[in-house]
Amino acid sequence: MKFLHGLILSIPSFCAFLLHAQVAIFHAVDTLPASDRSYIQSRAGNLQQWYRENGITAELLPDSKLVEKLPALKLALLVAPSPNAAQLKSLAAFTKSGGRVIVFQSSSAALAQHLGIRLEPSHRAAEPLTAMRFTTGIVTGVPHAILQPAPFLWPAFPARGDCRVLATWDAKPHNAILAAPQGIWFTQLLQPATDASRKSRLLMLLTAHLRPELLGTAAQNILNQTITQPTGSLAYPALLAAAQKNPAAAQNAAELTAFQNDAAQFIAQKKFLHAWDAALLHRHETVKLYARLQTPRANEIRGVWEHSGAGLYPGDWPRTCRELADAGITDIFVNVAGPGFAHYPSKHLPRSTVFATPFAFGSRIAISRY
């Protein structure tokens, strides 16, 4: 327990730390038509939620607060920005002093030029875009591809030697993400309906690339939250005590301690990405240990909420169902519609971009035999 006392922040100091966000997400308001504002704020909210799940507290702010808030930050995310002269001046000073930015779908030539990027007018793609494919050797740990259906192109090109293409659209020569020393440029907004877990991890990998110390903060936050907040009905010490009395769970308890020690050691060594991964494993294994300690009841439903409408392995619903069944899951609750969209041929709602792809639950694939 001596280790735990050294690791855990007191509750008041931990909460006080969380109130001081080093990351902010600015979403456009005044430069947008009123009909687009809630949508843009919603996409910014997805980014905030992904950060929260991964141990980073990020403020969600209108872009009118940019000049005021920017000096206190380490990283700023700009969602559909069209910065004015004062905001551009603040952003230039921010990046010059070591701050970094991640930009999502902007038509601002001046902002692009600051990152060494050249823009061309947006237009509808000749054929629908379905995935971003990544270049290796620029950002550590990026996946081979991430699904991202999109009907429009927002062309962007490197205009300086220090700006490189991080991802392209499918096999086509269209750039999806560019990386510069001062920040990252997404030509599109990230859509949460497909590959949400990979997009969440991508956001953290890009954060680690631009401001690696923020991953150390994230790792410490995840450890503290896991240890100080109950898992289900058990506080963390009670969970470990119960596991040590259960022969089937004792090994899991030992693994928890190992992941916890690994995370703390990586933080001390300033290997922040490794620390964050170890902290995530510690949290994941804590939940697994709690589940292992539960006594199943006869005929109980063990369900999974599948939000994307595309399954755990988009394009392969049989694999999704087979692996969930092997894990003891009895039912899948699939999200097939929401405000203004449907993943199936609805007579009342517009068909979503997910429906237009071959991995939608309601479009082409029947899983009743499972």
Domain ranges of the chain: 2-210, 214-292, 297-370
- 184: nearest Cα among 213, 214, 204: 204
Q: Which of 171-185, 201-215, 313-327 has the lowest mean pLDDT?
A: 313-327
pLDDT in tens, 74-107: 999 999 999 999 999 999 999 999 999 999 999 9
What average pLDDT does the segment 40-55 reach? 96
For residue 354, the model assigns a pLDDT of 75
- Give the pair of three-digit tokens for residue 274: 């490794």
For residue 361, the model assigns a pLDDT of 55
- Give the pair of three-digit tokens for residue 256: 């928890």
For residue 20, the model assigns a pLDDT of 52
- Position 360 confidence tier, pLDDT thresholds 50, 70, 90: low
Per-residue burial over 305-319, b = 16 or more CB atoms within 10 Å of its CB, e = otherwise: ebebbbbbebeebee
Q: Taking 60 as the threshold, does the pLDDT of residue 2 lie above it?
A: no
Beta carbons of 223 and 267 less than 8 angstroms apart: no
What is the SS3 assignment for 250? helix
d(CA 225, CA 247): 27
Q: In sequence order, what are the beta bridge partners of 145?
A: 133
d(CA 40, CA 25): 11
d(CA 180, CA 116): 7
Which amino acid would we find at residue 14? F
Which residues lie closer than 8 Å to 111 by C-beta, 6 or more apart? Answer: 78, 81, 83, 88, 91, 103
What rounded mean pLDDT belongs to the chain? 87
Handedness of CA 284, 289, 292, 293 (dihedral sign): negative
φ and ψ at residue 160, rounded to 5 degrees: -135, 160
Which amino acid would we find at residue 250? A
Among 3.40.50.880, 3.30.2320.20, 1.10.10.10, 3.40.190.10, what is the CATH number of 2-210? 3.40.50.880
Beta carbons of 185 and 103 less than 8 angstroms apart: yes
d(CA 195, CA 309): 10
pTM across the whole model? 0.79
Which residues lie closer than 8 Å to 78 by C-beta, 6 or more apart? Answer: 26, 63, 66, 101, 102, 103, 104, 106, 111
Which residues lie closer than 8 Å to 299 by C-beta, 6 or more apart? Answer: none
Q: Taking 60 as the threshold, does the pLDDT of residue 50 lie above it?
A: yes
For residue 299, the model assigns a pLDDT of 86
